[in-house]
A and B are shown apart, each in its own frame.
Chain A
């Protein structure tokens, strides 16, 4: 039990810093130790809520998060999360483990495409984004100035977020890589706003998936609680460090974490069996 708390604390710290989410690291570890995949996935969503709530509390107070964008995109992610969780309830554990590994590899590829930009300049808003008022500003401590931004392609971004939500609900993770990729490549969100908004959306998305798992008998209390406790502690520490670390270093850390998680789940599914 205490081992789960300690590992989850480290995973929560790293997950909060990178936007990956602690569950992406904790779930493969628990599966490797013999915890059934679907129980680990269901309990993972509780730790995603914890990670999100812990880190979002300070992001919100610092004014980095785009709350309106989050509310709009959550309409799409919760729909995806419910569908994804229903899928996990109905498919084999091996399929879930292989999907997990594939999603981690895909997230590595996606992350290579996303932002080294601190704030996209000259974005022309489309009509829907302008109508929704999807714009804002935040103070970037690493740049030492106020960064203003405008979002675009709200409808396309929203539709893509259904898929990100489905990945989160199906695999018990925050799916931060997909959310961040959609934020930056489609909506043209600055990296720090993208990371903090992704953190906020993760919690609501995970809640939708967890609602399905609570009603399907896959949630395990003595697994969910230590995972949630550890990731909450880690994410609070991580969020206080985020604005002091350069984006390029966060990105390198992300690559290592996603790669290890993918390898572990593949090993568990193909070599040890689930």
Chain B
């Protein structure tokens, strides 16, 4: 239960941070761009990886896009963080079977998210 509670709070925190960021971004968007959703170049994510997407947050033109990017990034990092925390927990308990299983999940996700395609 110790791990479950910790992960529950981690996921709640990640969700709330992303929720707040996206809500602010959406409010700014509606105020400045109007109601219409736009599938234009400004709003389509064009990155070689998630890492490049995160690195590009600071250079985003509008505040609405910046906040939405932050929200999406925080949301995507939430399950990833859950896997990393689980890996640390299993390693501290010397549960080698689940260190291997969780380590495999973290490795595959890390390669996918942080290595350019």
Interface residues of A (CB under 8 A from B): 1-5, 35-36, 39, 46, 49-50, 52-54, 56-61, 63, 65, 67-68, 71-72, 74-75, 78-79, 82, 131-133, 203-204, 206-208, 210-212, 214-215, 217-226, 228-229, 232-233, 236
CB nearest to A64 among chain B residues: B4
Cβ contact within 8 Å between B45 and A220? yes
Interface residues of chain A: helix, strand, loop or mixed (majority)? helix
Cβ contact within 8 Å between A53 and B49? no
Q: In chain B, residues 1-54, which have Cβ atoms closer than 8 Å to a Cβ of chain A?
A: 1, 3-5, 7-9, 11-12, 14-15, 18-19, 22-23, 25-26, 29-30, 33, 35-39, 43-50, 53
Query: Is residue B109 contacting chain A, with contact meaning CB distance below 8 A?
Result: yes
Cβ contact within 8 Å between B78 and A217? no
Chosen A-B contacts, 15 in total, with CB atoms closer than 8 Å, are A2-B30, A35-B37, A49-B75, A56-B8, A56-B11, A57-B12, A60-B4, A60-B11, A63-B1, A67-B3, A71-B105, A203-B78, A220-B37, A221-B44, A229-B22
Interface residues of B (CB under 8 A from A): 1, 3-5, 7-9, 11-12, 14-15, 18-19, 22-23, 25-26, 29-30, 33, 35-39, 43-50, 53, 65, 68-69, 71-72, 75-76, 78-80, 82-83, 86, 97-98, 101-102, 104-105, 108-109, 112-113, 116-117
